Amino acid sequence: MTRNRQIDRLLLANTDDEPLFSKHGQIVVALARSLLERMPGDRITRVHEYAARLDASVGTVQAGLQYLTSVGAVHLEARGRLGTYVAAIDYPLLWSIAMHRPLVGALPLIYSRRLIGLATGLRTQFDRLPIDLELRFIRGAGQRVQALAAQQCDWALLSRRAAMQYPEIDIVTELGPDTFMAQHVLILRDAPAAGIQDGMRIGVDPSSADHTLIVHTICREQRVEFVEIDYAQGLHLVISGVIDGTVWSREDVPAEIANLQVLPLSANDYPELVALGTAVMVVDKGNRPVAAVLNAAIEIHELRLIQNEVLERRRTPAY
């Protein structure tokens, strides 16, 4: 029997009508949720205090703690009169017992193969854990932060630059340079002169603080008309002549497309590009349980290897 099936059997008691949480299961869930807030080295609440808080007997609480240790969700160390302390926690397993639902993450719309690689890496790593991962794709960093505040997701993926604009969130981990975007270029319809010229229509995605920043930065010395676009449609809009240019990612511009100027943007000239290219995973400020699960689940080196394999077409995307 798998570990998840064992958990289901513990939590659900069959009746003639429908499955319901058993009393023992309810206590285990409550204990697991409490322990999600703990870190190795923390002292846990005393058993009799748990019993009073949960309206349960001391024996039921002890049985619940024993179950959590028996399945490997937590390792506890009794220190006599000092109390009982957390020696180790398997946060993904504890989450699956405490919450009994997937961990929900908000990613940008998958318009770039680099983001496809990142989503594939996340799926690969979570598939090895006793916890389900649900990915939702939301356009715009601001919209993803709002989804966090509304508890529509547990964590979100942003660029480091975007994350620094929101004091109400915590950065859990940085995934490193070129994990969010890379090889920024200015794409322009073929024109007699290279670069942005006065009077051009330049596409900018107002839902993306990152795109707005870099487009306005590179256009600051020209008089251009800014046209609101969806970033994912930027290349098509340039090719079709709806706009004269926009900022894009070089690796997402097909090599066979002609009649375009593709002008690299250097981080030496535009230092903002470094923070724009670094992916970070964020949670609501003070959300220790989700932060702990993410830190336990994500292995950055492997994640970046998988992302690069997808970029180089050596791995089939699966997310």
282 φ/ψ sector (left φ>0, alpha ψ -120 to 50, else beta): beta
Q: pLDDT at position 16, please? A: 38
Q: pLDDT at position 226, please? A: 97
Q: Which residues contact 299 (CB under 8 A, 6 or more apart)?
A: 125
Q: What are the domain boundaries of the chain?
A: 3-99, 103-180+278-311, 184-275
Dihedral Cα 131, 112, 207, 168, nearest 10 deg: 40
- CATH number for 184-275 (one of 3.30.70.580, 3.40.50.410, 3.40.190.10, 3.40.50.720): it is 3.40.190.10
Contact between 281 and 157 (Cβ < 8 Å): yes
> Torsions phi, psi of 82, nearest 5?
-70, -20
Q: pLDDT at position 292, please? A: 97
Q: Residues 40-58: pLDDT tens digits? A: 999 999 999 999 999 999 9
Homologous superfamily (CATH) of 103-180+278-311 is: Periplasmic binding protein-like II (3.40.190.10)
- CATH number for 3-99 (one of 3.90.1150.10, 3.50.50.60, 1.20.140.10, 1.10.10.10): it is 1.10.10.10
135 forms beta bridges with 105
Q: Residues 119-154: pLDDT tens digits? A: 999 999 999 999 999 999 999 999 999 999 999 999
Cα Rg, the chain, nearest whole Å: 25
Rounded CA-CA distance 86/74 in Å is 7
Q: pLDDT at position 15, please? A: 36
Rounded CA-CA distance 68/252 in Å is 47
One-letter identity of residue 4: N
The pTM score is: 0.85
Rounded CA-CA distance 61/30 in Å is 10
User: Which parts of the chain register pLDDT below 70?
Assistant: 1-21, 191-193
171 φ/ψ sector (left φ>0, alpha ψ -120 to 50, else beta): beta
Contact between 210 and 161 (Cβ < 8 Å): yes
